[in-house]
Structures are given as C-alpha cells and as structure tokens.
Amino acid sequence: MTVRVAVDFGTSSTCVALSVSERDAQVVAIDGQPLLSSAVYSSPDGTVFVGQEADRQAAVDPSRYEPHPKRRIDEGELLLGNAVLTVREVVRTVLQRSVSEARRVAGGASVDQLVLTHPADWGGIRSRVLRQAANGLADRIVLVPEPVAAAVFHAANFAAAGTGDGAALAVLDLGGGTVDVSVVRKRPGPVADSSMPDSGFEVLATRGDPSFGGADVDQLLLEHVGAMVSKVDPEAWRELVEGRQLADRRRRRVLRQDVRGAKETLSRHTYTDVPLPPPFPDAHVTRDDLERLISGRLGRAAELTVTTIREAGLTPHSLSGIFLVGGSSRIPMVGRLVHERTGVVPTTLDQPETVVARGALRAVSADPSHTGVYGVNEGVTATDLTRPTPRRLAHEAPRPEEVTTRLTTRQGPPRVPPHRMAQHGVPQHHPERYPVPTAARVAEPVSGNNSGTNRTRLFAVIGVVVLIAALVVVLVLVLRDGQQAAQPPAQQPSTPIGETSVEPERNGREIAQYDYKFTMPDDWKQTGGDAAKRLVQVRPSSAETGLDQILVEERALAYDSDLDRPRAVNKLRSEYEAAGSAFSGLDMNARFANKDVIYYRQQVTGATVDWYVMFKGSAQVSVGCQHTESGRARVRNACENVVRTMAISAS
C-alpha cells in the first residue's frame, strides 16, 4: 500500500489531501471540517496546539496565540507568551498535525510521499524553511508551486477547455492572507517513460499582494459592524475588541467567528445578520456593504491578473482559461471584476480552497525514480520548479553542462549548480538510483534507417571519448584539491572557483534576509524594510533619519536569469527607458566592488542614488546607495562593502 499526502499550508487554513494505493485524492476531514486552521498556541507547559484547539486556547491568553504563522515565514523566531519558538518549529507543528490526521484516515500507515505546496514567488530561503519543517514526516518530500498544482487539477477536470500542449492558463489564488496570480503553460513533448503523463507545467509569470486576503476581509467587515453599533456604548465596544479580561477575549473570539460566517453567507445571499453580545443590537449587513468595503482591493487583484498575463507575453483571450482558487474566491465580486477587466469569465469550483491540495498529488509521481506531471521528484526545491526548463530535441547531442551533470552524479560533489541538475532531470539526492547513462544513450537516432544507426554509433564513440576525457579532468581536479587540502591554511586558495580573487571584507554585522545576505559596516545599522518588496534599509548609526542610506531590494523572477540573462537585462533596460529623465548613466557592463553589475543613477529630492543591479537564478537584487553631497564618501565606502559581500542564494 502506497500512502501519499499533500498539504496546502495556507495563511489562515490548511488543506490536506490523501491518496492510498494511487486512488483518487480525497480531502482529509479534520475535526469534521475540510480545512484545518493554521493557527498555533503555545501553552505554559510547552504543549503547542494547532487548529481549532489553538483557536479555543487563544481565549485564555492571546499573547500565546499566532493565527497566521505563514505570514511570519521571514522571521527567525516567534515570541508566544514567554516562549521563544523558531518559525520552523511553528510550521512543523502544523505540518505534523496535518500528516497525523492523514495517517489516521489511512489506518496508521506511514507516509511514502509528502507533497508541500507554496506560493510561486517564494525564494530559496522560504522554501527551505518549509522543507526543513517537514523533515522526517515522510520517506520522500516534494515541493510544488501552488499555481502549478491548481493548473494540474484544472487540466485534469476540464480537459475540454483546451489545456493541451502549449496551452496557458492564469491562476488567481485568493487565500486567507495573500493574493497570488500566476500564468502557467503546459510544457509540450512526451516524457521518456510512456507510462507517465505526457507533460508538465511551467510558470511564465507570477505576481502577488501579501497584504490582503480573507483575514483582511474579516477585519474590514468587523470594523464596519463596529461603526454601526459602537455608538450605543463606545467604551463597551472598545473593551470587547481590545480588552484583556477573559470574558472579553471569549466574547471577541465568538464575535470574529460570527463575522467570518457572515462573510461566507454573503457569498450565497444578499444579506445576513451578525449576532452581538449585550448591550449591542444585532447588526444587519448586506452584500452591497461588503462589496463597498473591499471593491478597491479586489479591483487591484483583478488588475494584478491583467498585469501578470501581460508580463507573460499573452493576452486574456489567448489563455485556455482563468482559474479561481482559494476560499475568498467564493466572493461573487471576484469573478465579476475579473470578467470586467479581462473579458474572460473565470472558472471556479464549489470547494476552491481544496483545489491546490488535490492538484498537488496529481502534479507528482508516486514512483521516486520517475518524474510526475510537472516533472518533479524528491530532492527538488521550490525555486527549481518555477523555472522553465530549456527543451532539447531527442536527436540533439547533450550540452556540455549536461555531460558534466551526468558525470558528477556518481563522482562526488557536483561542479554545476544544484538547480541546473534538477532542470536536466538529475535529482540532488539518492544518486545511486540514477546510474550514469551509457554511451549509447548520449544521442538517439534521427530515424530508423542505416545512416541513422551509423550516426548513432558515431555519437556513441564520441560520447565514450567525451566521458573518458571528462573523467580524466575530474580525476585531475580531485588530486589537485587533495594536494591543496594538505597544504597549510595560509597556502590554500581563499575563494572558490569562479568567484572573485579578492576576499570580501566581513567586518561589520551580517544581514541575512530573503534570498540575499550582505555585511554592513560596524557604524551602520538596519533602520527599516518592507517584506512585500523584500527590502532592507540601512543608515549610518549617527544619522538614522537622514537622507544618506543604502537600500537593498530583491525582485523575484519567473525564469532563470543565469539561463536567460538577455531577458533579464532587456527588461531592466526597458524599465530604465520608461522612467525618463529621473534616471541617467546606464552602464550594462559596469564593474563595482569586484562585482559585475548594471549601473544607473537616480535623482531624488536632496540626494542622488547610485544603483547597482545583480542577477542570479530567479532573483534580481538592486543595491541603491543614496547620498547627499556631504555624505557621498561615507555612503560610497559602505556601499562598496555591501556590494562586495553580497551573496544571493536564489537558485
């Protein structure tokens, strides 16, 4: 019996799907509900409660309660009451409860494969936290982007909608805490194993709004109810929504549940009533009231959909469809606004919050030696999945990096980036299951005639020569590394192959956030940031409010800039040209602090900003060094240190 579990870890709620012996996925009911609250509560004795248990315990001490742990993914630690827990521990409690419930339904059997979903724009750091939180919960762990899982489910259930090879569709995911839009395309071409599904999906573009979701709709509706009834007794209302007395906390929990229920009712009916405790009268709210509160935010979500489709190089009418997922997509206004802005009627289901979990099980294969619909297997990280893979025709000889990848599968540490290995079909773990291909498989015959056979034999001979030469090179490198390792430390090379020969200055405090890290001078300090923009702001310690500052900002790319650098460069150039006279001095091949960068200058009120842009994998990191005339030297010195020590981990 094979047990496979998918967990869609959401901001407000988590959905769990189960497949036993390759039967169709079923949603696991937890506490009688199809969704598990993602909330956690840390009790004084160290017990961590999850789900509705956490929601109930929150009435005892709200300071020990975290309703939306996914929103805290970028923070290293959480303070719950007087207990300090790492984010990884908090996430693990949710995943552990999810897997335990699935095992209960499966009769206590162990989990062979655990599929975890994540937003498409999550970088390596966030996905690593998610993966590490799940270690030990299953024999194999696979990460899949949420829009890909939704697209696979859509393609499987709406085959007549035109989701053949090359077809693209947009996925608008309105969850409990975020709005995410992605455009995915079905990758053409059959897989090598005819018993496997024909193709997978790739993400063409993705955008998101991490500041709005179903939880924010609840809050807006609660504030609207308060504006209607609080005049009866303003002080009593303040105590109800802010008070720390146990009675107030319990009444507030019930009130929030009733407000959430009212929101869900307004998705089906034009009005409803919210029961309120004395001395307040019950509140009568209508769908028009709700839509008036959220029309602006939902309008931006619809515009975000249009922008993402355009960024993918497509038009709404060229898509096979627009697919709505997430519990908040039930709000009728969502589909109406998307239709108005795109001209396409979106598709949704009765249980849109379960689509991602169910689709995730379809997106991967149960057999760890094969790839699934999306072409993923164990050991592949989330950022690997969101990047299109260059296709190679069957009769083409392998590229040099492919030969290197195949050789290093059994010859020790790879000398190519891990994400390149994943893109060419070589897993990062358990290499013993994937023997080095024989020379006869290096190239395939173009046709079945004799000339094709001779060509194959010729390619085979060439392949053998290439393999032998490569093995010799690897042997030489290994021997050289061994000699260097035996030297005294002072004689060993200070930098890895391919990096600058100048050792970065590490004096100062290291800032490790998002998919990048750098060292700032001792006399500088972090003074701000913006998680939505993956922005870090640092200033001199002696001038924390001045104009002199350094801004480091990351932009997630929907493709691999290492493989498609012209695309990244051209997009940056077009943005520069569109900015007009505010920018000047563009240098596409600049050199600064021993790094290859793209440079341009921006004029702002009272200061000048020198921008240094670097690309790596799925990330674009921009360092903006803003200085006044008097602070120019100080900022430049600090800027050199930041750029020199910049390390980007996005793969």
pLDDT of res. 621: 94
What residues contact 394, with CB distance under 8 A and at least 6 apart?
A: 444
Cross-strand bridge partners of residue 116: 7, 143
Hey, where are the domains in the chain? Answer: 3-212+298-363, 391-492, 509-648
Distance CA 481, CA 382 (A): 32
**Confidence band of 111 (pLDDT split at 50, 70, 90):** very high
Q: Is the pLDDT of residue 10 over 80?
A: yes
Q: Is the pLDDT of residue 638 over 90?
A: yes
Helix %, strand %, coil % for the chain, to 5? 40, 25, 35
Over residues 79-84, mean pLDDT = 89
Q: Is the pLDDT of residue 387 over 60?
A: no
Q: Is the pLDDT of residue 69 over 70?
A: yes
pLDDT of res. 501: 34
* Highest mean pLDDT of the ranges 30-39, 148-157, 362-371, 395-404: 30-39
Distance CA 596, CA 569 (A): 13
Over residues 325-349, mean pLDDT = 89
CATH of domain 509-648: 3.40.1000.10
pLDDT of res. 279: 92
More confident residue, 463 or 226: 226
pLDDT of res. 143: 92
Distance CA 561, CA 21 (A): 40
Distance CA 544, CA 527 (A): 7
Look at the block and give the residue holding tokens 């006044």. Answer: 628
pLDDT of res. 164: 58
pLDDT of res. 462: 57
Q: Is the pLDDT of residue 64 over 80?
A: yes
SS3 84: strand
* Highest mean pLDDT of the ranges 193-207, 386-400, 401-415: 193-207
Over residues 122-142, mean pLDDT = 90
More confident residue, 517 or 59: 517
Over residues 542-550, mean pLDDT = 82
* Highest mean pLDDT of the ranges 74-83, 87-96, 584-593, 628-637: 87-96
Is the Cβ–Cβ distance between 370 and 194 less than 8 Å?
no
Over residues 376-392, mean pLDDT = 35
Distance CA 247, CA 234 (A): 18
Distance CA 499, CA 119 (A): 31
pLDDT of res. 470: 58
More confident residue, 201 or 567: 567
Q: Is the pLDDT of residue 331 over 60?
A: yes
More confident residue, 604 or 160: 604
- Cα 5 to Cα 35, 199, 377: the distances in Å are 15, 22, 14
Lowest-confidence pick of 236-250, 443-457, 547-561, 575-589: 443-457
Over residues 27-33, mean pLDDT = 90
Q: Is the pLDDT of residue 366 over 80?
A: no
Over residues 503-517, mean pLDDT = 67
pLDDT of res. 412: 33
561: burial class by Cβ within 10 Å (0-12, 13-18, 19+)? buried
More confident residue, 127 or 176: 127
Q: Is the pLDDT of residue 419 over 80?
A: no
**Percent of all residues in the chain with a pLDDT value above 90, rounded to a whole number:** 33
- Mean pLDDT computed over every residue of the chain: 76
Is the Cβ–Cβ distance between 173 and 117 less than 8 Å?
no
Integer-rounded Cα Rg, in Å, for the chain is: 27
What would the two tokens of residue 113 be?
């494969």
Task: Summarize pLDDT for 276-297 with one digit per residue, the tens.
Answer: 998 999 999 999 999 999 998 8
Is the Cβ–Cβ distance between 282 and 274 less than 8 Å?
yes
CATH of domain 3-212+298-363: 3.30.420.40
Lowest-confidence pick of 45-49, 366-370, 539-543: 366-370
pLDDT of res. 498: 30
**Confidence band of 376 (pLDDT split at 50, 70, 90):** very low
